[in-house]
């Protein structure tokens, strides 16, 4: 009987510590030291919240940088990849459709130069970053559509490039 009472007491104490105090402490630390990140890294436009820096959105305008394809149509409620194997006909069909979309949007890019990152969805389906190569390949289309100079777009990419950390993790462009 003594062991049962100890077990119940132990369970109650740790439920309070780990279920109430610890989450509140982590919340407080996050809000105090990292308020922008803790609240979702939200982006505002004309005083309206339009998205998060952490979640890609479907882009239909040719004058904007296109994110990686998404297996979940950029729905943050259902994050995840397609989980289709490399020989699965559905994956091959999806990749072929993405290649056709890239060819249509960027006729100046030869098909053999289209990187896999432009036609295969990310593991989460929500990754907002694109590779440096993906950004550079889109410069001609964006310059032609918007009238911005290629040089200005190259400088924009250079400014927003996240270089490898410790020389290990790749080069990303945060567009």
Query: What own/partner pairs with CB < 8 Å and gap ≥ 24 does 32-38 have?
Result: none
Q: 4-20: buried (b, 16+ CB within 10 Å) or exposed (e) per residue?
A: eeeeeeeeeeeeeeeee
Is residue 173 a contact partner of residue 166, using CB atoms and an 8 Å limit?
no
* φ, ψ at 38 (rounded to 5°): -65, -25
Distances in whole angstroms, Cα of residue 27 to Cα of each of 15, 23, 41, 77: 17, 6, 15, 22
How does pLDDT run along the chain (175 residues), one tens digit per residue? 899 999 999 999 999 999 999 999 999 999 999 999 999 899 999 999 988 888 888 888 999 999 999 888 888 887 888 888 889 999 999 999 999 999 999 888 998 999 999 999 888 888 888 989 999 999 999 999 999 999 999 999 999 888 777 777 666 666 5
Distances in whole angstroms, Cα of residue 88 to Cα of each of 68, 111, 124: 20, 21, 19
- Indicate the SS3 state at residue 164: coil
Is residue 137 a contact partner of residue 118, using CB atoms and an 8 Å limit?
yes
């Amino acid at each position: 009987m003594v062991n049962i009472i100890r077990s119940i007491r132990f369970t109650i104490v740790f439920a309070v510590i780990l279920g109430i105090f610890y989450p509140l402490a982590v919340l407080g630390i996050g809000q105090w030291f990292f308020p922008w990140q803790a609240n979702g890294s939200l982006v505002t436009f004309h005083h309206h919240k339009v998205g998060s820096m952490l979640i890609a959105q479907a882009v239909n305008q040719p004058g904007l940088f296109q994110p990686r394809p998404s297996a979940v149509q950029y729905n943050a409620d259902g994050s995840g990849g397609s989980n289709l194997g490399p020989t699965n006909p559905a994956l091959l069909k999806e990749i072929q459709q993405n290649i056709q979309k890239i060819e249509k949007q960027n006729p100046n890019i030869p098909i053999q130069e289209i990187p896999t990152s432009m036609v295969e969805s990310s593991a989460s389906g929500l990754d907002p970053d694109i590779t440096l190569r993906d950004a550079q390949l889109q410069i001609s289309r964006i310059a032609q559509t918007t009238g911005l100079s290629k040089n200005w777009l190259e400088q924009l990419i250079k400014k927003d490039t996240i270089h490898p950390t410790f020389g290990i993790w790749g080069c990303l462009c945060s567009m």
